[in-house]
Amino acid sequence: MAEEPKTEESQQWGLNDEYPVTEEQVASLHEQGWAALPNLLSREAVDAMLPRLSASRSRDQKRPDEHRGPGDDHNPNINHDEMAWRDPVFREIATSRRLASAATRLMKQETVLFVEDVSFFKPARGRQSGYHQDFSYWPFDRKGTITVWVALVDMSEDMGPLRYLEGSHLEGPLGFDDGNNILDAYPHLQNRKIVGGKPISAGDAQVHWDLTIHGAGPNNTDTVRAAYSLRYIRTDTIYTGMSHPHFDAFQLPSGRPFAESGLFPFIGA
Ligand SMILES: O=C(O)CCC(=O)C(=O)O
């Protein structure tokens, strides 16, 4: 169930209003592997999120010795994770009617589980985010997870908005890229069209599947490119026990469904 809105801000930020997902957006996600979600969050919501993220400790500050995300050693982004488990504002956004309506319609599910959130702050003059699939990095036994990537600042093309290889979710799991560009391991991917990566306004979002190959160009500007990702899984997804900086902390029993734990909110009808 979508959690009841708790603050006056929910109303002001439009979190109680459904997001009007179109047939075209659903088709784009299912057929092309991604979709644009303009105006998902209001400016007011984004304005509240940005300073909270900037003031919180990043993943590296909290767990400097942990393994990192895709691409590794040279993580091109600063990540603030678990915000929705640390700050009620983020929890409210992630479980709001606005996000719930978008996630369930896009996934074609009645109910889904919200399981992870993480920021992607690409510093001024920061390097590109290499192309990768998220699937291999997560302790999920099945596909069907979406990431809703929200722009928290207005981004020009030279700041590195998220981009995708069109239709690449149909490739199946291609494994860890081990810090290398997945395009070197699978040269045939170079024939796929690069989509997304266009200027985007704060509050606009894009959604992709766990198997969609995605990345971002470098930030060739002097301002930080800030984005925030929310991940939603199918309610029948089972925890595999594979180590992951976010999921390790929950000490879940491997081989059991995430839904049983009570640690991840159900959202939807
Ligand atoms: O924003 C980026 O640079 C990468 C984002 C990403 O990989 C994700 O949200 O899954």
Ligand 1 neighbour 229 (Cβ under 6 A)? yes
- What is the distance in A from the centroid of ligand 1 to the CA of 70? 9
Residue 121's SS3 state is strand
Averaged pLDDT, 88-111: 97
Ligand 1 neighbour 90 (Cβ under 6 A)? no
* Count of beta carbons in the 10 Å neighbourhood of residue 97: 19
Which pLDDT score is estimated for 179?
A: 62
Tell me the pairing of strands 266-268 and 111-122: antiparallel
Half-sphere exposure of 42 (CA within 13 A, CB side): 15
- What is the distance in A from the centroid of ligand 1 to the CA of 97? 24
Q: Is 262 within a domain? A: no
Q: Is 142 within a domain? A: yes
Ligand 1 neighbour 145 (Cβ under 6 A)? no
Ligand 1 neighbour 21 (Cβ under 6 A)? no
Say yes or no to pLDDT of 16 above 60.
yes
pLDDT digit string (tens) for 205-217? 999 999 999 999 9
- Kindly give the number of the ligand 1 atom that is closest to the alpha carbon of 76: 3
pLDDT cut 90: percent of the chain above it: 84
Prediction pTM value: 0.94
Q: Is 256 within a domain? A: no
Which pLDDT score is estimated for 61?
A: 80
Ligand 1 neighbour 216 (Cβ under 6 A)? yes
Q: Where are the beta strands (DSSP E) in 154-264?
A: 162-165, 194-196, 205-209, 214-216, 225-234
Ligand 1 neighbour 77 (Cβ under 6 A)? yes
Averaged pLDDT, 187-194: 96
8 A C-beta contact, residue 268 and residue 105: no
Ligand 1 neighbour 171 (Cβ under 6 A)? no
pLDDT digit string (tens) for 26-79? 999 999 999 999 999 999 999 999 999 999 988 888 766 655 554 444 689 999
Say yes or no to pLDDT of 2 above 70.
no
Ligand 1 neighbour 149 (Cβ under 6 A)? yes
* Count of beta carbons in the 10 Å neighbourhood of residue 226: 24
Give CA–CA dist 102/144, Å, rounded.
Answer: 15
- What is the distance in A from the centroid of ligand 1 to the CA of 131? 9
Which pLDDT score is estimated for 64?
A: 64
Q: Is 175 within a domain? A: yes
Read off the DSSP letter of residue 5: P
Q: Hey, whose CA ends up nearest to atom 9 of ligand 1?
A: 229
Six token digits for residue 258 = 């995430």
Q: Is 3 within a domain? A: no
How many domains, in total, are found in the chain? 1
Q: Is 64 within a domain? A: no
C-alpha to C-alpha distances, 11 to 7, 88, 93, 101, 204, nearest whole angstrom:
8, 15, 11, 16, 19
Q: Is 197 within a domain? A: yes
Six token digits for residue 9 = 């801000």
CATH number of the domain bearing residue 135: 2.60.120.620
Terminal C-alpha separation, the chain:
6
- What is the distance in A from the centroid of ligand 1 to the CA of 181? 14
Give CA–CA dist 89/234, Å, rounded.
Answer: 24
Averaged pLDDT score across all residues of the chain: 92
Strand partners, 216: 129, 162
Q: Distance of alpha carbon 125 from its chain centroid, rounded?
A: 22
pLDDT digit string (tens) for 117-171? 999 999 999 999 999 999 999 999 999 999 999 999 999 999 999 999 999 999 9
Which of 251, 132, 114 is closest to 189 using CA atoms? Answer: 132
Residue 138's SS3 state is coil
Give CA–CA dist 266/129, Å, rounded.
Answer: 31
- What is the distance in A from the centroid of ligand 1 to the CA of 162? 7
Ligand 1 neighbour 10 (Cβ under 6 A)? no
Which pLDDT score is estimated for 66?
A: 58
Q: Is 255 within a domain? A: no
Domain that holds residue 136: 8-58+70-250
